[in-house]
Amino acid sequence: MALERTLAILKPDCIEKNLQGEVLSRLQKAGFKVLSMKQVRLTKETAAAFYAVHKARPFYGALVEYMTSGPCIPVALEKENAVADFRALIGATDPKEAAEGTIRKLFAENKERNIVHGSDSPENGRIEVTFFFSESELVS
């Protein structure tokens, strides 16, 4: 199986609750390699561009608003089967539906304030990593 890249974003509620170390520790224990990470404050333009795929959805405006409400930490990750393994580790978008022991079940408040973003496909993982990181910032 080939290595895949995926993007995690530790969202504003993760930073507010000071859970970034806990979440990163869980990712590393699950075998993910951190290629790069940085703390940023997304502008409305950047958040709108990143989440443009959801533009027609009713939650789009609230999502952009929320993602610009505080700092967040994009993290480029690498592992075999990275996307599927990451999504299994974080759990369903809605923490009420997330499996026991997943990051969202343990720490998320609701569907919007759900601690972490995760790429939904290997292709989107590659695209999303390059949205936040240049190739020279990714250290294997």
Q: How far from chain centre, in Å, is Cα 121?
A: 13
Q: Name the H helices within the chain.
A: 12-16, 20-29, 44-50, 60-67, 82-90, 103-107, 122-132
6, 14, 117, 125: the catalytic one is 117
54 tagged catalytic? no
Do 128 and 7 form a contact (C-beta atoms < 8 A)? yes
CB 115 within 8 A of CB 23: yes
Structure tokens at 44: 């409305």
Residues with catalytic annotation? 117
